[in-house]
Amino acid sequence: MTGAATGTTTETAAGRPWRPAGHVVCVGETMAALVPDPPEPLERAARLGLSVAGAESNVAMYLADHGVPVSWVSALGDDPLGRRVRATVAAAGVDVSHVRTDPHHPTGLLVKSPASTAGTRVHYYRSGSAASALGPDLLDEEPVRSAALLHLTGITPALSPSCRELVTKALTTAVDARSHAVSFDVNHRPALWPDGTAATVLRRLADRADIVFVGLDEAQGLWGEDLTVTDVRHLLPHPRVLVVKDGARAATAVTDHGVYTVPALRTAVVEPVGAGDAFAAGFLAGLLRSRTTAQALRLGHITAVSALRVTGDHGPLPAPARIERLLTLPDPEWEALAQTQGGTPPCPGYAPDGTVH
């Protein structure tokens, strides 16, 4: 079944659907980022702007934009880049009081190289970073211990053995023994998995989460090129909510109460990196605010557009009144808007690695 914008058809048939509620904690590495300004291939750039980039902190910042109480937990070097990262994330309204300062390891760095035809390429300088030294001990500490929802991605287990232990412990703890729900964005970064274990490890981890995000093309690259949304659900049968993003076309949420597909909005794209994180934050904000599943998908698309329209990973949301109007549009009006918004071409897929497909 495809859910309507209000999502009431199946969501009231068998009782109210499951929703997490309360404080969110996002755990993962954030790096300093150098970006050509204006956007152009790195080898021709005359000027680089300094910003920050990290999947989990991106989610945290957009959740804060939506008014959701959220903490980001990580580690940074005792260096100027680490202080820049901490200040930037905090300025977005995210609690960073539990971010560790590591005097023995540096803050990671990435450099973006936009290209008109091949998409954005990202070069990482993160080996031995402070965040790569994180381990499972932080799961027993605040604020994770009292969180309602813990958000993780498939980037973290690829950073180091201790980081893999962290994510494995978070996701292999029995659901009944967990004090919080767990959200997991597969976020496959091939460069981080040179040993070829990504497909097995990420599937095992994702299937133990409560909420999972994965791109359809991402799933096809990992687990089989002909996969459909239904096939992905067969591979990941246990999450309460599975969200499959089909590029610029649509996103589908599969739950015990039904299957909901909402078309993506079209927009002019300035730079695609971070849009997948923005989508995840919007969807989670919708669930946390007790929106219907279809409305949560809409909020994911709205938030993703905010990232696509800026050179950095974090762009401004529309005014609250406009968001509310978009969330409550009748289905035909949303679909028409998704086809024609601004008369611009479709936005590229919300690719986890930021490349344009």
Structure tokens at 9: 């058809």
Q: Is the dihedral of CA 171, 175, 177, 179 positive or negative?
A: positive
φ, ψ for residue 112, nearest 5 deg: -95, 145
Q: Of the listed 277, 313, 331, 353, which one is catalytic?
A: 277
Q: Which two tokens stand for residue 229?
A: 């949304």
Q: Which amino acid is at 65?
A: D
157's tokens: 């287990």
Residues 6+ apart with CB under 8 A from 213: 183, 184, 185, 186, 187, 243, 245, 276, 279, 280, 283
The backbone torsions φ and ψ at residue 302, rounded to the nearest 5 degrees and listed phi first, read: -60, -45
Task: Judge whether 79 counts as a catalytic residue.
Answer: no
What does the alpha-carbon distance between residue 97 and residue 269 come to, in Å, rounded to a whole number? 34
Residue 114 CA to residue 12 CA, distance in Å, equals 46
Phi, psi of 89 (to 5 degrees): -65, -40
Nearest to 200 by CA among 169, 174, 175, 164: 164
Q: Measuring CA to CA, which residue among 225, 163, 217 is closest to residue 192?
A: 163
Burial 9-28 (b: 16+ CB within 10 A, else e): bbbeeeeebebbeebbbbbb
Distance between CA atoms of residues 348 and 356, nearest Å: 6
Neighbours of 329 (CB within 10 A): 14
Q: Are 72 and 85 in contact (CB under 8 A)?
A: no
Positions annotated as catalytic residues are 277
